[in-house]
Amino acid sequence: MTDQLFDALIELADDNLVLGHRLSEWCGHAPMLEEDLALANLALDLVGTARALYSLAAEVEGKGRTEDDLAYLRVEREYRNLLLVERPNGDFGHTILRQFYFAAFMEPFWSAAAAGSSDARIRAIAAKAAKEMAYHLRHSGEWVVRLGDGTDESHRRMVAAVDALHHYTDELFVASPAAEAMAGAGVLPRREAMRAEWDRLVGQVLAEAGLTAPDVPWPQIGGREGLHGEELGHMLAEMQYLQRAYPGATW
Amino acid sequence: MYSQGLIGADGRTEESPEFLEAFQRRIDAEEKIEPKDPMPAGYRRTLVRQIGQHAHSEIVGMLPEGNWITRAPTLKRKAALLAKVQDEGGHGLYLYAAAETLGVSREEMTEELLAGKAKYSSIFNYPTLSWADIGAIGWLVDGAAIMNQIPLCRCSYGPYSRAMIRICKEESFHQRQGYEIMLTLCRGTPEQKAMAQDALNRWWWPSLMMFGPHDKDSAHTEQSMKWKIKRFTNDQLRQKFIDATVPQAEFLGLTIPDPELRWNPDKNDGRGGYDHGPIDWDEFWRVVKGHGRMNRDRLAARRKAHDEGAWVREAALAHARKRKARAMAAE
Ligand SMILES: [Fe+2]
Ligand SMILES: [Fe+2]
């Protein structure tokens, strides 16, 4: 039980950190100042949630590891994040669509956890994250509509973004053995149970944006087993550089 | 951050003596000048230039520190740095808004920056080469910015002074955070301490240059002081900064890279202060004129963000227009 709770928390923490890190790459480079601030806010939310989840995982594990040990001292095969969140930022449209797909899952997921988790610590993390995700969902959903509907160029770019990212979305609903066990124990919501709400939210926004979800003959799945694309390793090499170069130092 | 001693402000003005005297009486009475109030053209021009340079400095200043967000050594540091850089963007936003009250648009100011015509604080044309630079920037660069900016909270122009009050609170938080990074490094391993010393060596002199040329070489200080846009001269502010910072460096166990730095009990009207060695003004002007290590890269990064974001801004406008048209058609 403890091992599985630890594993399930790490999966969620990795999703949040990896996506938060990706968003933080925009800082200083966004299409307009207001979005620079907004993307930094989203990144801060996700990094904050990741920290809470890693800390809880470390506590559950009880081996004296810290949030930073978990974030900085695991290699890519040990990272358990979804493939969707590690995708490179691409253009602003890709970043926004990736955020929208993620938030359309996490908002209902955290809301369900806040209401129904048997673990009070998870309810607390989830309550905060659910509120944040409601904002991410609104912000990214509005942008998907704006960009899908805006100009010929923005529409073309959003079609390309849907094409590039949609086949990573099935993985949102896949439960690892740890996630399955935690759902069975009432600690975390069942991922598959978010499907109807996700379909509704995504269907509505894509329709309003004049975009269509493509058929996905072969969904990309593997992050929960540490089977990533090639980009994650580079991201971790950058992120972990100081901890790796100066082992044991305090920062 | 970060106003640098204002460069190239032109306070010349052509109003009638009666108008100027009436204006000066309001200034001398410490009345705040508000956007719709009559003001001399030179006052307006000086402020547009100063607030614009200040806003650009905040925005360009996001780049050197942004360079370490993805490499911050702990999650706490990562979040704090991201929040700090975000604050600087927010400062840029308030300041552009303050400048807009004087009749210049953010778009115009941005065009000037991207065309290389508008100045920003030269300190950001130096590269961030190690994590300790993030500490040194917070401690020294935000620290110098505070020295410059606290008097600006009392600036005669209302919108600028109000923006500065809000900004100064955040800057002093940045300064403490930067110092705390330095303290952690100085209490860490020998390699970390060497990293901190190296950062101080590289950032010390550029930080002193942030206050601008010596008073004797600063052409426009006098008029700006008379209009209470500026309250202290460049040299006064620089001296305050040095006097405040040297003991902080001593507490860290770091050495200020100035062999001529000495306590002088007669300075500051007998209260004492530090004498310092000569500042390399050739370097200052070289960097101001575009030949620092990072000048080209900074502008290139701003231009790239602007150009690559054009389709997003256009799409947002187009969508807003379409929505309006659809709403009207539905009525
Ligand atoms: Fe600032
Ligand atoms: Fe600052």
Per-residue model confidence as pLDDT tens digits over B82-114:
999 999 999 999 999 999 999 999 999 999 999
Spell out the per-residue pLDDT of chain B, length 331, in tens. Answer: 554 555 556 667 778 999 999 999 999 999 999 999 999 999 999 999 999 999 999 999 999 999 999 999 999 999 999 999 999 999 999 999 999 999 999 999 999 999 999 999 999 999 999 999 999 999 999 999 999 999 999 999 999 999 999 999 999 999 999 999 999 999 999 999 999 999 999 999 999 999 999 988 887 778 888 999 888 999 999 999 999 999 999 999 999 999 999 999 999 999 999 999 999 999 999 999 999 999 999 999 999 999 999 999 999 999 999 999 999 998 8
CA separation for the pair B65, B81 (Å, rounded): 8
CA separation for the pair B142, B145 (Å, rounded): 5
Neighbour tally for A101: CB within 10 Å: 24
Distance B41 CA to ligand 2 centre (A): 31
Q: Are strands B273-275 and B262-264 parallel, antiparallel or unpaired?
A: antiparallel
Alpha-carbon distance B308 to nearest alpha carbon in chain A (angstroms): 7
**How many helices and strands in chain A, by DSSP H and E?**
11, 0
Alpha helix (H) residue ranges in A62-151:
67-72, 83-86, 92-116, 120-149
Return the residue of B nearest to A244 by Cα.
B73
The CATH number given to A2-245 is 1.20.1260.10
Coil, helix or strand for A205?
helix
Coil, helix or strand for B150?
coil
The minimal CB distance from B188 to the residues A91, A154, A249 is found for A249
- Output the CA torsion B276→B217→B225→B140 (10° steps): -40
Coil, helix or strand for B256?
coil
Q: Do B79 and A47 touch (CB under 8 A)?
A: yes
Q: Do A239 and B62 touch (CB under 8 A)?
A: no
- Predicted TM-score (pTM) of the model is 0.95
Q: Do B86 and A149 touch (CB under 8 A)?
A: no
Q: Do A154 and B318 touch (CB under 8 A)?
A: yes
Q: Where are the domains of chain A?
A: 2-245
- Tokens representing A2? 């403890």
Neighbour tally for A108: CB within 10 Å: 23
Asked whether the beta carbons of B69 and A21 are under 8 A apart, the reply is no
The minimal CB distance from B184 to the residues A147, A151, A251 is found for A251
User: Which residues, including other chains, have CB under 8 Å from residue B313's CB and lie 6 or more apart?
Assistant: A31, A32
